[in-house]
């Protein structure tokens, strides 16, 4: 009888615990101020700007936290992280976004927590977000093959393409008297034949202007865009890309011969920037700004910030109309639809956001997770991306006081800017901080007046054009290799691209004869350097990624 009563009592206690949320986030004690150290990427903001950021101040106050930030100087993040790991003197929270080491390896080394069970228990909003079928892509990136997750991630709600091929529409209008006639019959350049027509007009324009140096087309120093744009119009990628589930390496595919042949033809005609191969210091998306901003370039890989009339210099009588263009198709060689390839980092990365170090006590861990979970609520994700509203007492914070924004920057309970910010004439007028380096969801910002031209957003126009063919053939950047495979793949890729890049430039500039036989010898050498092993490593990682 006594045993039965005791059993009944135990059952009642368990039931009460369950009903009261026993072991849940509600049991986390945040009544006392808790100091938390965070190793974070600094970008170009000062410590003063971070400590006076009203979003951080509001969040710390809400969860009774005192954050001690550790910002390594820009460019030294990896070095500082290595030093910290070497001494085992970890901060409570660590961002690994700039690290080449996988989070799983960090867990195996005893550096960080496995958050799998903690998230289910203490982060209901993050857990629900990851389990939402609409976010299956995010989940597949953050969880490993065994179903474990090690970070509270930073996720983009709707990432937009920020760069792609652009061309000077104003040059074509000038040269044709407004009667542009692309051979394809389309209003925009969509084929390589259209490019021939366009580049010819651009060369005539620059020659007539008497420009000493000009470039109808600028390509990177290696002779191709490494992420695969432009090459996708020839039916291939640059390095690894996906074709019907199979990983391929574009620089040794047969269609690469067609690309090289066309580049050499354009180089011989003076369509290519003659000095392209020497511009090794230029990043692929910032080609020789003296030419692009000086009005001496016709087509290049540009940025959203280049579009429309943004590059015009009215004081010098220079008006440019820069428009985005999708990859032109090599229809002469049977390519009717370019591959779906674009620079796409996805909505998140495996190393994004925050990991919690093992120097952090379990009690502190639980409280931190409760605080980070707020950034996955509608209020939290909107606040971290935009800023505070009147109901969040924005007027108490110095930055909003200095900007005369007593009601903050967004309307209560919405994703709308207050009128002052929505109607700002420039980005400098209300340069309000956000918290995009924090974990959580970064929402798509509503546009401000200065971001629109005649009511049109060039960010949306560029995104629509640059993503025209999708990204089904893009090898996901979020795929992580094991440390051993990563080391081997890096060695192979370095050897292969060092050889390929030197030969590509020689082929285009005519320093090496380009024939079917010389191209075959080039392909054979790439295979001899281990491209098949490289592809096998990438294929295995891709198959595991898809299986998740």
Asked if pLDDT for residue 282 goes beyond 80, the answer is: no
Structure confidence at residue 166 (pLDDT): 96
Q: 13-27, 143-157, 319-333, 492-506: which range is least confident on average? A: 13-27
pLDDT band at 13 (very low <50, low <70, confident <90, very high): very low
Where does the pLDDT of residue 542 fall: very low under 50, low under 70, confident under 90, or very high at 90 and above? very high
Residues 224 and 231 sit within 8 Å (Cβ to Cβ):
yes
Radius of gyration of the chain (CA): 27
Residue that is written with structure tokens 């799998």 in the block: 116
The pLDDT assigned to 43 comes to: 65
Domain range annotation of the chain: 24-158+347-387, 163-343
- HSE toward the beta carbon, residue 530, CA cutoff 13 A: 15
Mean of pLDDT over the chain: 90
Contacts of 463 (CB under 8 A, 6+ apart): 160, 161
**pLDDT at residue 16, rounded to an integer:** 35
- With cut-offs at 50, 70 and 90, classify the pLDDT of residue 478: confident
Q: How confident is the model at residue 1 (pLDDT cuts 50, 70, 90)?
A: very low
Is residue 249's pLDDT more than 70?
Answer: yes
Give the architecture-level CATH label for domain 163-343.
3-Layer(aba) Sandwich (3.40)
Quick one: what percent of the chain has pLDDT higher than 70? 93
* CB distance 262 to 207 below 8 Å: no
In 3D, which of 350, 407, 337, 373 has the Cα closest to residue 138?
350
3 state DSSP class of 38: strand
CB of 40 within 8 A of CB of 97? no
Pick 344 or 271 by higher pLDDT.
271
212-to-66, 208, 269, 274, 276 alpha-carbon distances in Å: 59, 11, 16, 12, 15
Instruction: Assess whether pLDDT exceeds 50 at residue 283.
Output: yes
Domains 24-158+347-387 and 163-343 share a fold: yes
Tell me the residue ranges of DSSP E strands in 42-198. Answer: 65-70, 93-94, 154-156, 163-168
191-230: pLDDT as tens digits: 999 999 999 999 999 999 999 899 999 999 999 999 899 9
First to last CA, the chain: 52
pLDDT band at 477 (very low <50, low <70, confident <90, very high): confident
Domain 24-158+347-387 CATH assignment equals 3.90.1150.10: no
Name 75's Cβ contacts closer than 8 Å, sequence gap at least 6. Answer: none
Residue 455 CB coordination number (10 Å):
7
Does the model's pTM come out above 0.85? no
* pLDDT tens, residue by residue, 372-400: 999 999 999 999 999 999 999 999 999 99
Whether pLDDT at 307 is above 80: yes
Average pLDDT over residues 449-475: 90
Cα angle for residues 110, 114, 118 (degrees, 5° grid): 140
What is the predicted pLDDT for the residue at 3?
Answer: 34
């Amino acid at each position: 009888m006594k045993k039965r009563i005791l059993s009944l009592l135990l059952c009642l206690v368990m039931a009460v615990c369950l009903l009261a949320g026993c072991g849940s986030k509600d049991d986390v004690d945040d009544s006392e101020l808790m100091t938390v150290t965070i190793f974070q990427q600094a970008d170009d903001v000062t410590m003063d700007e971070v400590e006076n950021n009203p979003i951080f101040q509001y969040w710390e106050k809400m969860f009774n936290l005192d954050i001690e930030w550790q910002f390594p100087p820009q460019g030294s993040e990896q070095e500082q992280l290595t030093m910290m790991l070497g001494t085992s003197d970890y901060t409570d929270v660590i961002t690994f976004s700039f690290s080449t080491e996988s989070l799983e390896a960090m867990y195996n080394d005893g550096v960080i927590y496995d958050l799998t069970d903690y998230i289910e228990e203490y982060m209901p909003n993050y857990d629900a977000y990851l389990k939402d079928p609409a976010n299956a892509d995010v989940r597949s990136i953050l969880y490993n093959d065994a179903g474990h997750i090690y970070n509270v991630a930073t996720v983009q709600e709707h990432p937009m393409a920020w760069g792609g091929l652009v061309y000077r529409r104003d040059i074509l209008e000038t040269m044709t008297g407004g009667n542009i006639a692309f051979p394809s019959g389309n209003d925009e350049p969509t084929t390589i034949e259209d490019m021939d027509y366009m580049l010819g007009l651009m060369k005539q324009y620059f020659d007539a202007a008497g420009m000493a140096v000009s470039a109808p087309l600028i390509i990177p120093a290696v002779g191709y865009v490494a992420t695969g744009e432009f090459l996708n119009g020839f039916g291939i990628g640059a390095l690894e890309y996906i074709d019907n589930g199979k990983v391929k390496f574009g620089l040794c595919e047969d269609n690469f011969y067609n690309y090289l042949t066309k580049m050499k033809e354009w180089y011989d005609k003076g369509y290519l920037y003659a000095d392209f191969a020497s511009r090794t210091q230029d990043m692929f998306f910032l080609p020789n700004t003296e030419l692009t901003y000086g009005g001496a370039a016709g087509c290049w890989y540009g940025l959203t910030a280049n579009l429309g009339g943004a590059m015009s210099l009215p004081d010098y009588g220079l008006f440019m109309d820069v428009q985005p263009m999708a990859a032109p198709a090599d229809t002469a060689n049977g390519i009717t639809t370019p591959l779906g390839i674009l620079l796409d980092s996805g909505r998140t990365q495996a190393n994004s956001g925050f990991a919690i170090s093992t120097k952090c006590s379990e009690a502190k861990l639980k409280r931190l997770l409760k605080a980070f979970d707020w950034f996955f609520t509608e209020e939290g994700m909107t606040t971290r991306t935009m800023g505070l509203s009147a109901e969040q007492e924005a007027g108490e914070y110095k930055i909003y006081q200095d900007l005369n924004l007593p009601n903050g920057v967004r309307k209560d309970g919405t994703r709308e800017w207050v009128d002052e910010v929505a109607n700002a004439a420039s980005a400098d007028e209300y340069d309000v901080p956000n918290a995009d380096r924090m974990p959580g969801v970064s929402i798509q910002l509503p546009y401000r007046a200065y971001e629109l031209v005649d009511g049109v957003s060039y960010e949306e126009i560029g995104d629509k054009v640059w993503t025209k063919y999708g990204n089904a053939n893009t090898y996901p950047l979020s795929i992580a290799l094991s440390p051993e495979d990563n080391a081997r793949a890096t060695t192979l890729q370095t050897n292969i691209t060092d050889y390929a890049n030197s030969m590509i430039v020689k082929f285009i500039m005519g320093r090496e004869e380009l024939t079917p036989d010389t191209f075959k010898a080039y392909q054979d050498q790439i295979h001899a350097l281990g491209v098949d092993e490289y592809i096998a490593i990438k294929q295995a990682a891709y198959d595991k990624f898809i299986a998740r």
